Amino acid sequence: MLDKLDSKKKKKKIIENASRYYGFEEELKYFDFRLKNQDVIMLDKGLGELIDSISNKLKSRLVYAGIKVGEVGRRFRFSLEGSFFLIKKEKKKVYIDRKAEMLFLYGRDVFSKSILKATADIKENDIVFVCNLYGDVIGIGRAKYSAKDITRLGEKVVVYNLIDRGEYLRKEKLYKSF
């Protein structure tokens, strides 16, 4: 039992560290982050309090409440919904043009010539959030190069597509976190 508590504390600490690193610590004030195995579920604090107040008999009939925003293992891995709701600050973001947005949503990788802007904090092999012209996170990718090189390589693939919003339409197994 003690190991379970320690594990839960470690997972909560990983979420707190990720919130500082990616800049969503403000959301920790307004939302309740719950753990269900390795899944991280975000729900409104009021809803969390309501769920805590109901009887165990009713809780056992509760199927799900909230949004899965990621998974916790050795680190926090965002789900697509998690990145859409939590990533507001300019960290690890790549902005792409309209044509690249369409291709990315069809599962394609991002070429250097399609990148309009990239945040300076991107390093080689980092997980990055791929955004459209309006700043909406449309997917998660892995940077092949650092930020200083990412926009200068022309016809080279610079961001590999890990998951995108079009994944829901293309596959049966829908839910991954990165």
Look up the CATH number of the domain holding residue 65: 3.10.450.220
Higher pLDDT pick, 168 / 22? 22
Put the strands of the sheet holding 76-78 in their side by side order.
Answer: 31-36, 39-44, 67-72, 76-78
What does pTM read for this prediction? 0.78
List CB contacts of 22: < 8 A, sequence separation 6 or more. 86, 87, 89, 91, 92
Q: How far is CA 90 from CA 22, 87, 120, 171, in A?
A: 9, 8, 9, 30
Q: What is the mean pLDDT of residues 127-153?
A: 89
Domain boundary (86, 113, 148) is at 86
Tell me the residue range of the domain where 135 lies.
93-165
Do 82 and 98 fall into the same domain? no
Dig out the tokens for 57 from the structure. 């008999």
> Alpha-carbon distance 69 to 106, whole Å?
22
